[in-house]
């Protein structure tokens, strides 16, 4: 009875490895997951900023953004300069959170989008990359 169990386990491991290899091949075929089929859309990881009242943290402001960049050359430049853009976004988001975000009201998403667009245009020194807000959320501490 003990002899078939290792064989079954080995067969199961081999099958699991084959399915893992197939999934990797499918990922390579289909490419990375995109939120939209648009070639001009460039998604980003969410940005976070602490909401403070005095010296006490009350929660987090989370902002999900993407960029719509129809110009291929500018899109390639944005991908190359993404660390500078993220730094500008985080700095702008921290300043916005400190001066405009309060725990008892919704943040002004139009003002936030305008700030992020200004930061984008300043870093790129060129217009053509449009900031799109995907999500703005507040998580308050208990």
pLDDT tens-digit series, residues 61-102: 999 999 999 999 999 999 999 999 999 999 999 999 999 998
Residue-wise burial string across 97-128, b where 16 or more C-beta atoms lie within 10 A, e elsewhere = beeebeeeeebeeeebbebbbebbeebbeeeb
Confidence of residue 46 (pLDDT cuts 50, 70, 90): very high
Judged by average pLDDT, the poorest of 34-38, 55-59, 109-113, 126-130 is: 34-38
User: What CATH code is assigned to 41-140?
Assistant: 3.30.479
Residue whose entry in the numeric block shows the structure tokens 């290792």 = 6
Across the chain, mean pLDDT equals 83
CA distance 102 to 22: 49
How many Cα atoms within 13 Å fall on the side-chain side of residue 113? 14
Global pTM reads 0.73
Confidence of residue 142 (pLDDT cuts 50, 70, 90): confident
Confidence of residue 31 (pLDDT cuts 50, 70, 90): very low
């Amino acid at each position: 009875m003990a002899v078939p169990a290792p064989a079954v386990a080995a067969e199961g491991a081999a099958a699991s490895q084959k399915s893992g290899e197939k999934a990797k091949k499918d990922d390579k075929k289909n490419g990375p997951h995109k939120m939209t089929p648009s070639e001009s859309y460039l998604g980003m990881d969410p940005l976070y900023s602490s909401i403070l009242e005095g010296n006490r943290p009350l929660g987090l402001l989370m902002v999900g953004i993407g960029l719509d960049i129809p110009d291929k050359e500018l899109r390639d430049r944005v991908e190359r300069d993404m660390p500078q853009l993220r730094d500008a976004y985080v700095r702008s988001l921290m300043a916005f959170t400190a001066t405009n975000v309060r725990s008892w009201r919704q943040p002004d998403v139009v003002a936030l989008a305008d700030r992020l667009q200004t930061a984008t245009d300043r870093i790129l020194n060129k217009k053509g990359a449009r900031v799109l807000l995907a999500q703005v959320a507040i998580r308050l501490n208990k």
